[in-house]
Amino acid sequence: AQKITQTQPGMFVQEKEAVTLDCTYDTSDPSYGLFWYKQPSSGEMIFLIYQGSYDQQNATEGRYSLNFQKARKSANLVISASQLGDSAMYFCAMRKNYGGSQGNLIFGKGTKLSVKP
């Protein structure tokens, strides 16, 4: 069965420092996609970054980068130069083939990041 594991329930980081949020996954599919979402206290889920299993390079989007280590089945999110507005829950997710139809994501339990001024 496919599974996403986020082992850090909560983390603190000093403003302007970099932080890494861990994510490991388990799948037997050769083709899959990995996503990170941010959920501020207001509740909306914001898509941050995507990594495909066949992508040769690590994905980057502004201050977000994904440290993809395929052999270790890890897809850690790196946030550079943390800002107070980065305080939120962060979810790692994987695209799953479900019932013959692609689309569904399975999610980890999340990591709560708190940025200290």
Partner 1 sequence: DVKVTQSSRYLVKRTGEKVFLECVQDMDHENMFWYRQDPGLGLRLIYFSYDVKMKEKGDIPEGYSVSREKKERFSLILESASTNQTSMYLCASSRGQGAGNNSPLHFGNGTRLTVT
Q: Which residues bind partner 1 (CB under 8 A)?
A: 9, 31-33, 35, 37, 42-45, 47, 50, 52-53, 91, 93, 95, 98-99, 101-110
CB of 27 to partner 1, least distance (A): 12
Nearer to partner 1, 15 or 58 (CB): 58
C-alpha 56/C-alpha 93 separation (Å) is 19
Nearer to partner 1, 78 or 89 (CB): 89
Per DSSP, the three-state class of 85 is helix
CB of 114 to partner 1, least distance (A): 16
C-alpha 34/C-alpha 25 separation (Å) is 9
Nearer to partner 1, 57 or 101 (CB): 101
DSSP label at residue 17: S
Tell me the residue ranges of DSSP E strands in 27-73: 33-39, 46-52, 60-61, 64-69
CB of 62 to partner 1, least distance (A): 16
